[in-house]
Structure 1
């Protein structure tokens, strides 16, 4: 499995990488613009990400904007949509509805991310047996 972790916190990027190190190849970036570049590069190489874990609150380009651009890119390039989990420290039902309903993400994770919660989502979405 190939995973892109997008969070402006180096600590969160490290935690997610450690959680996934035995089951995935991970790349980490700290902003939405770099995430878009990485996704485009992966699509161009014919090896798109299976999963993007995308922080919602980031400077310059937030997670919602980044998600919208990634989905538009996948549609334009006619590639299968990768799974996208939005990650946030805010456990707001309104934010969850916006992320899943309007933006087109696949699921939602509340920080601090714990390995058990992440594993359950990976199984739920067919990324882990």
Structure 2
């Protein structure tokens, strides 16, 4: 049997790409590593993806795209972002008349507690993707919310690049150092609890994508500790969070 023949003796059919316009995705995510990971998935599925780092920029880009007759098919919103959070962004878009038939909105979040999920839905979102986002879940999301658009089939897992892995490893070191500095400081700086919670939220969202599930869980636990800490117990909460991270990092 020659190399180009199938077992039936016929030439194999060529692989064809889906017809139609590709899915246009807008991702609002302030975590650079998470943004690159999700963008890689979107591009692998044949989507056109634009990225911004906050909700206000997302709103601006949505209206600019509409004016150019290149409206987005799907908006992915990180739950915790500067300027406007994911829920605040969704509420503003819905209040301005952009409904779910025009633009489905999906939360991308490490926080999937039922109460938080209800908050996403009340804000006008249609669902959520839990971090770390898998290629299969992302593919299913596109099938569900942009069914009339073109998408390449999902053909297995793609691992992050070595360069992205190195950046992630450096980010882990920076987070640990920031916690150690806070623990040993003579006094806690104003806003330190918010800053450290944001570090943990981002770490929880990306650690699982690199196969470090235990670290993702530890970061989420630390985030909860800091969120519930009273002012006089904040240093202890920071110290316990650091211990959780060190145990698995």
Which category describes the TM-score, using the shorter chain as reference length?
0.7 to 0.9
Which residue pairs with 2:141 in the alignment?
Answer: 121
Shift of 1:25: 0.7
Match of 2:47 among 6, 21, 24: 24
CA offset digits 1:60-115 (Å, max 9, x no partner)? 21011111122233x27x99521111111112111111112x11111111111111
Which structure: greater helix fraction?
A: 2
Gaps of 5+ in 1: none
Question: Considering only CA atoms, is the larger Rg found in Structure 1 or Structure 2?
Answer: 2
Higher RCO (CA 8 Å, separation ≥ 6 residues):
1
Match of 1:36 among 54, 59, 62: 59
Let me know the Cα RMSD of the aligned residues: 2.0
Shift of 1:122: 1.7
Q: Separation in 2 of the partners of 1:121 and 1:99?
A: 16
> Is contact 1:64–1:99 with CA below 8 Å preserved after alignment?
yes
How does the TM-score come out when normalised to structure 1? 0.88
> Is contact 2:75–2:104 with CA below 8 Å preserved after alignment?
yes
Which structure: greater strand fraction?
A: 1
Q: Separation in 2 of the partners of 1:72 and 1:48?
A: 18
Shift of 1:124: 2.4
How does the TM-score come out when normalised to structure 2? 0.47
Gaps of 5+ in 2: 1-22, 154-249
Q: Separation in 2 of the partners of 1:26 and 1:113?
A: 16
